[in-house]
Structure 1
């Protein structure tokens, strides 16, 4: 039974138009449009704005974005395709995007599985909403080729894609090298790496840079000393617990982690196993999440400026939306290593 049948109200709901609001408030439809779309500042008097808002509330009016997009061929939606938005890293990305686009565009999130490259087939479903543009985290070149077309699109943290595609990347390779250099400075000669089970290029770059730098610094990382798990605290804890006996026998005293979530999982496991951090094992992560500074011990981590990355990506997208070429087409944000107690006793630099 429908709600209409339950209530006895079988009339079709009346569609409230801007013209009806204008008549109710005694203003023009242009004034209603300015107020309803948040563009009234300096253009509509406070008295008229109040009258329009009261009319909107009384009549239950809302802007028909779908109808508008059908008429114009494009909506005011900007879609951010990203994994695991519960991760504080992406909260910062969103804040950066909104600082540039919030006044003119509505931000919509399309969520993929944690650490997984976005799917072209899934993303294509969103195109039915006629978004103004896309911001895509860690896409593959294959994804970009499949989506194609004239839709304005900017990639975030996507090393390895064509230099002709608008993107904002983060220097994760340098971050991985900084972790290894730090381990070497602390006298470590045998290390392990806890990777993510993912197909994203950015995480592959972190791993390869870590292993290459380890070779350069004379730190041994055996094939058996590289393991992987989902980007999940419990999964990382489980994998570390399974690997620790092998790593301990190999003389491992330092562990690089693909993300801070992996490092959190390692710390959780070490408590149960009675492993002293950093005395027996130094642990470093990636992303420098807010909790990394307050965990016990605090986690040494590669800091990536997620908010600035979101802001720069949004600026490039806005340029595309305005028919301009982003300058520069691709940007690289530096990383920095924040040293804390998980690698140095009393460390916090």
Structure 2
């Protein structure tokens, strides 16, 4: 029984679905989509194959040209664990120093590297397309810009997540809502802003460009942008921040102005990193499936390396609204 539970956990980690979903497939329950059922059954088949090696282990180059903090660290750790389950090795290229290096052009000629996973790559579409045309298998996680049609990618459902967050505030009576967004050339930021506008439109509220700030996603930038919005002469009742670090900065700016959260001002974030649970009050936020993104990236890449074409090139994983204490009814 213990071995069966361990196998179920391994298959769940390898496929990026929950343990409950794996159990439903193994018990032949009807309420599982055909695509998910096939994915799980293929993983089960791999686990039942003889374990004798039939060649050298595959090596996957993982590029994350950023500091491996909580956000990127969760994705990279999940990729590493899932590659290990697949019997593959990982070559990690991480840290901001690698942002300026042109590594993509040389990847197909890198000895012993079979494929790559690129996390939020700073390279433009032309370089991604050039890499794809050379027949080198790779996948993009959390693309910065809209990925080219033939480049596989995995991201979160940013638009629906932001729409759910702003709808939550609208139901609380908020109409004067400031937005602290990420860089204005960021695909995720554009999608989140669209989701925010959609929720406002449903409530009959026109978005106000002067209530939006585009900044780098840091706590210091959150402090500065929130200060500008709060000191701008309007009567804001809520601030929506497009990551949790910006929201922490907004909390600091509100505290410096003697504003109580959420009695005077509601503040919300996005991502649901550990920091969101450490603030006082704890942050209302949108949970991104960061670990699931890493697991599914490896699973999709493994299918490509096994000679299968991905059923969907651009996958969006659902997000979850997490309501905590930093949001409340709009002040009268």
Matches within 5 A, 1:149-298: 149-158=134-143, 160-197=146-183, 199-246=185-232, 249-298=233-282
SS at match of 1:121: coil
- Residues in 2 aligned to 1:269 and 1:281: alpha-carbon distance in whole angstroms: 11
Post-superposition offset of 1:95: 2.7
Corresponding residue number in structure 2 for 1:66: none
Could you tell me whether the CA contact under 8 Å between 2:68 and 2:95 is conserved in 1? no
Specify whether residues 43 and 147 from structure 1 end up closer, same or farther in structure 2 by C-alpha distance, changes over 3 A only. closer
Equivalent pairs, count: 273
Could you tell me whether the CA contact under 8 Å between 2:276 and 2:285 is conserved in 1? yes
Q: TM-score, normalised by structure 2?
A: 0.73
Post-superposition offset of 1:274: 1.5
1:338 to 298, 319, 322: 322
Post-superposition offset of 1:186: 0.3
Deviations 1:299-349 (A, max 9, x none): 11111111111000101111222222234444321111000111138xxxx
Could you tell me whether the CA contact under 8 Å between 1:189 and 1:220 is conserved in 2? no
Corresponding residue number in structure 1 for 2:284: 300
Could you tell me whether the CA contact under 8 Å between 2:221 and 2:249 is conserved in 1? yes
Structure 2: runs of 5 or more not aligned: 1-49
SS at match of 2:267: strand
Could you tell me whether the CA contact under 8 Å between 2:219 and 2:246 is conserved in 1? yes
SS at match of 1:160: coil
Post-superposition offset of 1:90: 1.9
Specify whether residues 119 and 102 from structure 1 end up closer, same or farther in structure 2 by C-alpha distance, changes over 3 A only. farther
- Residues in 2 aligned to 1:265 and 1:98: alpha-carbon distance in whole angstroms: 32
Corresponding residue number in structure 1 for 2:89: 106
- Residues in 2 aligned to 1:282 and 1:121: alpha-carbon distance in whole angstroms: 43
Could you tell me whether the CA contact under 8 Å between 2:141 and 2:297 is conserved in 1? yes
Residue 124 in structure 1 maps to residue 109 in structure 2: no
Post-superposition offset of 1:296: 0.6
Could you tell me whether the CA contact under 8 Å between 2:176 and 2:238 is conserved in 1? yes
Post-superposition offset of 1:113: 4.8
Post-superposition offset of 1:127: 5.5
Post-superposition offset of 1:238: 2.0
- Residues in 2 aligned to 1:227 and 1:125: alpha-carbon distance in whole angstroms: 38
Q: Following TM superposition, where does structure 1 have runs of at least 4 consecutive aligned residues deviating by more than 4 angstroms?
A: 41-44, 125-128
Q: Which piece of structure 1 moves more, 214-223 or 186-195?
A: 214-223
Matches within 5 A, 1:10-21: none
Coordinate RMSD, CA, aligned: 3.0
SS at match of 1:255: strand
Post-superposition offset of 1:125: 5.2
Post-superposition offset of 1:188: 0.6
Specify whether residues 335 and 203 from structure 1 end up closer, same or farther in structure 2 by C-alpha distance, changes over 3 A only. same
SS at match of 1:286: coil
Q: Which piece of structure 1 moves more, 83-92 or 168-177?
A: 83-92
- Residues in 1 aligned to 2:89 and 2:105: alpha-carbon distance in whole angstroms: 19
Post-superposition offset of 1:173: 0.5
Post-superposition offset of 1:153: 0.6
- Residues in 2 aligned to 1:189 and 1:198: alpha-carbon distance in whole angstroms: 23
Larger Rg: 1
Could you tell me whether the CA contact under 8 Å between 1:75 and 1:129 is conserved in 2? no
- Residues in 1 aligned to 2:237 and 2:126: alpha-carbon distance in whole angstroms: 39
Specify whether residues 164 and 124 from structure 1 end up closer, same or farther in structure 2 by C-alpha distance, changes over 3 A only. closer
- Residues in 2 aligned to 1:211 and 1:83: alpha-carbon distance in whole angstroms: 31
Q: Which piece of structure 1 moves more, 270-279 or 125-134?
A: 125-134
1:311 to 295, 303, 314: 295
Structure 1: runs of 5 or more not aligned: 1-40, 45-71
